[in-house]
Amino acid sequence: MSGHWIFTAIAILGLAVITVVSRSFFMIPERELPLPDWLKRGLKYAPLAALTAVIAPEILMTQGELLDTFKDARLPAAILASAYYFWKRGILGTIVVGMAVYLPLHIGWGW
Contact 97, 81 (CB under 8 A): yes
Label residue 102 exposed, middle or buried (CB < 10 Å: 0-12, 13-18, 19+). buried
pLDDT interval class at 1 (50, 70, 90): low
15 assigned to some structural domain:
yes
Contact 77, 101 (CB under 8 A): yes
Q: What secondary structure does DSSP assign to 3-36, as a single string?
A: HHHHHHHHHHHHHHHHHHHHHSTTTSSSSPPP--
Q: Which domain holds residue 9?
A: 1-34
63 assigned to some structural domain:
no
22 assigned to some structural domain:
yes
What tens digit of pLDDT does each residue of 3-12 get?
Answer: 788 999 999 9
47 assigned to some structural domain:
no
8 assigned to some structural domain:
yes
Number of independent structural domains in the chain: 1
What tens digit of pLDDT does each residue of 91-104 get?
Answer: 999 999 999 999 99
